[in-house]
Every structure is written in structure tokens, then in C-alpha cells.
Amino acid sequence: MTELFMAGICFGLLFFIMFCFGHFVFLFAGSEEGMSIQHLLISGFIIYFFLFEFFAFPMMILKLPLNILSAVWGVTVAVLVLLVCLKFGKRWIQVWKKRKKQGHSFSFYLMLLLIGLQCVFVALWSDNSADAAYYVANVSANVATNTINIYEPFTGVQMDRFYTRYLFGMYPVHNSVVCQLTGIHPLLYTKTVTSVVTVFLSYTVYAQIGRKLFSGCRENVWKFLCFLSVIQFFFHTVYSNASFLLMRGYEGKAILANVVLPFVLYLGLCLYDDIQNKRIWLMVFCAGIAGVDISMSALSIVPVAVTAVCISVIIARRAWRCLKYYIVCVLPSVGFIIVYLLVSRGYLVLAI
């Protein structure tokens, strides 16, 4: 029962932290126009994992203990959240009082029901695949040995070099940090909490896309999410994003397919409306690094998605000067790919 209570606390705390991190976009915005709760949540999620990469990867390469990363990251997050609360706390209370007076339609409650059913499904679903075992074993090995990706998850044998396939993917390391800080069991956190979080974040992004497609009409957005929920329930193939969302939501690839890539599409819609907005370009830049932090599959997929979205908008708007922003956004991905190729081909050895 204590573990389940901690799981609920972790779930709520993660969303509150993401919500707070999302407020950093105010630093690059001329106004707060368009800053919905959904926008703040998903932007905060991207910024959160964008920053985590710069904390976790160097500490892994330096072979520092996991508790050092946990302490440094925990203090950093606590300080940033406190600063945001002090600056925006009064505004949150005012917004909450206004929202309490607003009513909701049948479509809104149907949407909540359908998303809630998906959350229950992923929380109860049991996946015994090799990937599932690796994700849980990796987090467990890190927590048990107080190390960062030093020991082979399946055998417990110390590796002679860092696993190239997951070299930049620090998402399991983040799960290890949360488990160490909260004491929650890695199996419960990775298979239940993160899966439910993925479902909520996925529909958060879709809600923002709906706001763009339907010019902010809330009723149409709720109907749009209901329609998507039905598709997610019944569209299952081996590698569809629906299968990853409802059956493998704890994996980085599921977050990449259902959160990061739709978010890139959403940013493209934002750029079409305001291609000169540097805040949007900043989020495109952060999404590229955050995607790699979450899943190594993003090494090639995210740059291709960013290219398809941004170049299309630049051509449509004839905004050739914005090509420089696009180049800056894909440069980190090019750097990640070069390092990955050097390590995988043996030209650069990251020995343990």
C-alpha cells in the first residue's frame, strides 16, 4: 500500500514539476498569450529532459555514483520549482478561481473517461518482452549498485565499455534517480507510473494540435481527443504508435512516437502562424536534444521530422532568413550522430 501511495505521489509530482518547468518559456515570450496548461505541461516536459541530458551524460562518462546525480538533480529541480512558485504562485490562484466557474460539456467528460480507461489499461497491462525486462533491469541495476549504466542489466557483470545502443539515452537513468530519491520500487515505477504519464502527455500534445486545427474551439478539441482515443484502442499492429502507447508506454520509443514527434508537428503549426517567434524555435532546438535523451531512436527520426516540418513552413512562408534557425536546431543531432558513429565503429572508445 505504501508503494502505491508513493506511485501516486510520484505521478502528481512529476506533472507539477513539468508544469513549473514549462513556465521558463515565459522568459522568451513577449506575452503570455497562448500559454494554456497543456502548453506549459508539454513544454516543461521537453525542457526537463533537455536539461537532464546535460546533467546525466557527463556524470555517466565520469563514472560518478548515482547518488551524486540524484542529489545534484534533486536540488536543481527543487530550486527551479521554488523560484517558479514564488514568481507565478499568485497568478495560478487567480486562474484557478476563474476556471472553477467554467462549465464543461458532455464531450469533455467523455474524453476524460476514454483517457482514464487507457490509463487503467496501461497500469494493469503486463508486458514480458525482452525490452520490458531490459528497462526494468537497467533501473534496478543502477539503484542496487549506486552506479550509472556500469553493470550489464541481465547478468550483473561490469561492462568494459558503455553500451553504445543506449549511449545518450538517459531516460532509464532518470527513472533510476526517481526511484533512488523516492524509494519506490523500479518495477512499479517503470511499468506503471511512467506508462500512465506517457498516456497523459500524449493527449496533452494532441490537445494542443487540436487547438491549432480548430482555432481554439474547446468543444471541437474534446471531440477530436475522443476520436483519437477510439483509434488508439483499436489500431494495433506490431509497430504502431497505438501499440507502443498502450502496451509499451514505459519505453523511450513509446514517448518518442507519442509525445516528442507529435510535439514537433505542433511546433510546426505554431511556426506557420509565427515563423519569426524565437521561443518556438528554441523549443524545436530543445526537442531535438530531449528526444535523444529519451530514446536513441531519435538520433535520426527527430532530425528528419524537424527537417520535414521546418523546411515545409519556411518554403510556404518564404522565410528564407529562418534557415539559420533550422540549421542551429539540427546541429546537435548531427553532433550526436557523429559521436555515435565514432563509438560504434571503434574509433572512439568510452571505456569503463
- Are the C-beta atoms of residues 242 and 231 closer than 8 Å to each other? yes
Q: Look at residue 328 and tell me whether its pLDDT is greater than 90.
A: yes
Contacts for 276 with CB less than 8 Å, ≥ 6 apart = 319, 322
Q: What pLDDT digit, counting tens, does each position of 195-232 carry?
A: 999 999 999 999 999 999 888 788 899 999 999 998 88
pTM above 0.95, yes or no: no
The arithmetic mean of pLDDT across residues 18-33, rounded, is: 70
Kindly tell me if the per-residue pLDDT of 29 is higher than 60: no
Name which of 280, 127, 122 is nearest 203 in CA terms. Answer: 122
pLDDT digits (tens, 9 = 90+) for 51-80: 999 999 999 999 999 999 999 999 999 999
Cβ(253)–Cβ(300) below 8 Å: no
| Helix-, strand-, coil-residue percentages of the chain, each rounded to 5 | 80, 0, 20
C-alpha cell at 335: 553532433
Confidence of residue 101 (pLDDT cuts 50, 70, 90): low
* DSSP code of residue 159: P
